Amino acid sequence: MIGAIIVLYNPDFELLQHGLDALLPQIDKICLIDNSSVDNSHKIPQCDKINYIPLLENKGIAVAQNIGIRYFEKAGFEYIIFSDQDSVATANVVKFLVENYESLSKSYNIAAIGPQPINRKTQKSYVKKSIIKETVENNGKSYYKVYSIVSSFSLVKLSTFSVVGYMEEELFIDGVDDEWCWRAHDKAKLDTFVVCDLQFSHFQGCDESVSYKKSTPFRSYYQFRNFIRLLNRRYVPKYWKCMNLVKFSVKTFYYPLFVAPRKEYIKAIFAGIKDGIRTIKQ
């Protein structure tokens, strides 16, 4: 059986309905975990295949995902697929992912597999060269073996969590999916794959324009904190450390000087740096 986990936070319910309509025929059950501050059960379609869990506060994406994972573990499901509240599945995407997983698993140990995310504004792939380890061929199909993938429409076998562990809840939001993929490879030598010819339209939360990615002060706090938190972990890839060291060094000066509200960015950035140093894991 295949279950889907969708984490909600003040969703656009019209767009959510489109996503549910596209995904429901493809899976056996959807678990909606709501980080919103109110109970939105009256806005959720009444359906036997939907389980709605309101948390009544924002506990972060990792906590919500772990609630969904445990729900499907107890229910005896084999696979789960993660999705976003604003993502709309293409026809048969779940079927194709399962087929590719089962075919590829004959030659590789898999942590997660997913389609190639395409920026819905620029139509460019989010799979950058820096995260691709290599391109592999299997049964006439091409795959990217990558360091990590975005959680949207990523397929994971539930038994994998007993080996790798759950999502790291202290990260709250930024880096949650990356850290899990890195940990899966470090702990169990499991690889993460992108199916090259399977794509879906995606839009990252921090994207606000085609030319520049701007994060809110709230999001910036977690980005800075989690960068420092992950910086000294040996299993975190060097490319990620170097890339983000440059990026966050620039943001430390750029945001407070040129991006409004400047005072909020100053507070968020330095609070993130302070808390990151405080919560570093050896």
Nearest to 24 by CA among 88, 69, 72, 74: 88
Range of weakest confidence among 31-35, 188-192, 194-198, 221-225: 194-198
d(CA 7, CA 29): 14
Per-residue pLDDT band at 202 (split at 50, 70, 90): low
Residue 234: pLDDT over 80: yes
| pLDDT score for 186 | 98
Whole-number pLDDT of residue 208: 40
Residues 9 and 86 both lie in one domain: yes
The enclosing domain of 36 has a CATH number of 3.90.550.10
Are 235 and 280 a contacting pair, CB within 8 Å? no
**249 compared with 213, residue with greater pLDDT:** 249
Given a cut of 60, whether residue 211 has pLDDT beyond it is: no
Over the stretch 77-124, which tens digit does the pLDDT of each residue have? Answer: 999 999 999 888 989 999 999 999 999 999 999 999 999 887 767 777
DSSP-assigned letter for residue 4: E
Average pLDDT taken over every residue of the chain: 92
The answer to whether residue 36 sits within a structural domain is: yes
Cis geometry, peptide bond prior to residue 261 (ω within 30 degrees of 0): yes
* Domain extent at residue 264: 217-278
Token pair 């030319």 is found at 211
pLDDT digits 0-9 by tens, 47-65: 999 999 999 999 999 999 9
Query: How many structural domains is the chain composed of?
Result: 2
Whether the pLDDT of residue 203 is over 50: the answer is yes
Q: What is the pLDDT of residue 282?
A: 43
End residue of a domain, out of 202, 225, 253 = 202
* Domain-located, residue 208: no
Q: Give the number of other Cβ atoms within 10 Å of residue 178's Cβ.
A: 22
Burial track 42-78 (b if 16+ CB lie within 10 A, e otherwise)? eebeeeeebbbebbeebbbbbbbbbbbbebbbeeebe
265 and 158 in one domain? no
Average pLDDT over residues 260-276: 96
Confidence grade of residue 206 (pLDDT, cut at 50, 70, 90): very low
Yes or no: say if 84 and 104 are a contact pair by the CB < 8 Å rule: no
User: 59 and 83: one domain?
Assistant: yes
Note the pLDDT of residue 204: 58
The single residue listed with the structure tokens 């990615």 is: 213
Cα–Cα distance for residue pair 155/80, rounded to 1 Å: 6
Q: What is the pLDDT of residues 134-182, one digit of tens each?
A: 999 999 999 999 999 988 899 999 999 999 999 999 999 999 999 999 9
